């Protein structure tokens, strides 16, 4: 899962959000340098990534886009799934998206000084551009796919991938909606939000 899901699966908790948001930038045992509540968010991030990478439904989506994304199909699927989360928002929460996004931007800005340097630098541009909102629109998703493809070695046709995704969005939605309730349950268990 990408930014939107990691923020959503922090359940409104600012410490979890910080850890979950910086998770990709905290390597090895460096997570132990953070306060315990933030550590929990970093470890939650790793649980989310591992569970997503090993779920049968995400495997189906990954296989669908392999002709377009090759070995980078799993991270591209993460991005596509954030769009599907935005489209299916009301299935998974009663909190309006606008309220969630405003709160998340505010919480991230509150904790910017605790983030790795690269995120401290990027965050103002991300929040000014309302990066979470980008996942709610086709043009926003296509922009994220394009930007991500530019960071990878090899030639990727992000436009062709986006076109294929929207042509087959019902099949991808079926995969996502079979997968995401499981991820939601696992994430809640990880942070003890379920008995």
Q: What is the residue-level pLDDT of the chain in tens, covering all 195 positions?
A: 889 999 999 999 999 999 999 998 888 888 888 999 999 999 999 999 999 999 999 999 999 999 999 999 999 999 999 999 999 999 999 999 999 999 999 999 999 999 999 999 999 999 999 999 999 999 999 999 988 888 887 777 889 999 999 999 999 999 999 999 999 999 999 888 644
Query: What is the model's pLDDT at position 195?
Result: 44
Closest Cα partner for 132 from 17, 1, 4? 4
- Measured CA to CA, the distance from residue 69 to residue 147 in angstroms comes to 14
Q: What is the pLDDT of residue 128?
A: 93
User: In the chain, where does DSSP find H-type helix?
Assistant: 3-8, 14-22, 36-53, 56-69, 73-87, 89-92, 97-110, 117-128, 131-134, 138-150, 158-167, 169-190
Please answer whether residues 28 and 17 qualify as being in contact, where contact means their C-beta atoms are separated by less than 8 angstroms.
Answer: no
Q: Specify the pLDDT at position 191.
A: 87
């Amino acid at each position: 899962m990408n930014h939107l899901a990691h923020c959503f699966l922090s359940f409104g908790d600012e410490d979890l959000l910080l850890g979950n948001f910086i998770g990709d930038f905290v390597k090895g045992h460096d997570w132990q340098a953070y306060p315990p509540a933030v550590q929990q968010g970093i470890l939650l991030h790793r649980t989310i990534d591992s569970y997503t990478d090993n779920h049968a439904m995400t495997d189906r989506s990954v296989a669908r886009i392999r002709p377009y994304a090759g070995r980078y199909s799993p991270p591209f699927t993460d991005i596509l799934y954030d769009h599907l989360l935005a489209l299916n928002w009301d299935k998974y929460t009663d909190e309006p998206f606008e309220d969630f996004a405003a709160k998340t931007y505010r919480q991230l800005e509150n904790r910017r000084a605790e983030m790795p340097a690269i995120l401290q630098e990027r965050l103002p541009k991300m929040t000014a551009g309302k990066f979470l909102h980008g996942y709610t629109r086709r043009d926003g998703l296509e922009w994220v796919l394009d930007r991500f493809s530019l960071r990878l070695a090899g030639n990727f046709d992000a436009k062709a991938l986006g076109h294929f995704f929207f042509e087959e969005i019902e099949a991808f939605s079926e995969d996502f909606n079979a997968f995401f309730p499981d991820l939601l349950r696992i994430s809640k268990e990880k942070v003890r939000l379920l008995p």
